[in-house]
Structure 1
């Protein structure tokens, strides 16, 4: 099914105006349902996401001015404080991820 979806995407079926758009969307939905059922993603907290992003970008606690001083970052990572809406907005911009990743 993935191969078919890829072939449809290659011919432009991901465009709403394409004559095969509905077929492409139906196959994509079926792939999504299958993946959710057989390969569910673990539920992560915003702090887990932040730790992952810090690791991927090789950042230390002091390299996150979007959050504040190193002591504030430490409190957030230890669970003593939560991420604020401003923190999330700044982090999502910095890392190019949806703010939803932190909720």
Structure 2
């Protein structure tokens, strides 16, 4: 079983194509072992060349609202008065540390997203 590192975009595409041919390989077979190794190599290449970034805080809140069918009223206990929630969602006011902690605890929004500096008007503040 000859395995080579995935160093270039060409190597990456070729390895993906080979992985596709091995998708039905059984576990514990030589083909299955090759698939496991190739997937590990591709994952390492993707981590280095295509890192995933966390969404902006407001986008993370809006996504969770959509995902769980939440309304502005549902955010009031965590963020504060209704007008404060609207200010946060409109990016007119930054999140405070208390808000970030509450959103993470109550709605399971990843803290990494809530702490991320916004690309827009305001950044979260402590």
TM class by shorter chain equals 0.5 to 0.7
Question: Is residue 105 of structure 2 the alignment partner of residue 93 of structure 1?
Answer: yes
Q: 2:68 aligns with which of 50, 57, 61?
A: 57
Instruction: Identify if the C-alpha distance between structure 1 residues 74 and 42 changes in structure 2 by more than 3 Å, giving closer, same or farther.
Output: same
Q: Which residue of 1 aligns with 2:80?
A: 68
Q: Distance in 1 between matches of 2:96 and 2:60?
A: 14
User: Alignment RMSD, CA only?
Assistant: 3.2
Gaps of 5+ in 1: 8-23
TM-score normalized with structure 1 length: 0.62
Deviations along 1:49-90, whole A, 9 cap, x unmatched? 011011111111111110011111000000110111110001
Q: Residue 79 and residue 37 in structure 1: after superposition, are their counterparts in 2 closer, same or farther (change >3 A)?
A: same
TM-score normalised by structure 2 residue count:
0.52
Would the aligned equivalents of 2:58 and 2:89 in 1 still touch at CA under 8 Å?
yes
Distance 2:46 2:61 in 1: 28
Q: Which runs of 5+ in 2 are unaligned?
A: 1-18, 28-35, 117-126
Alignment of 1:1-103 (within 5 A): 28=40, 31-34=43-46, 37-38=49-50, 40-41=51-52, 44-64=55-75, 65-102=77-114, 103=116
Q: Which has the larger radius of gyration?
A: 2
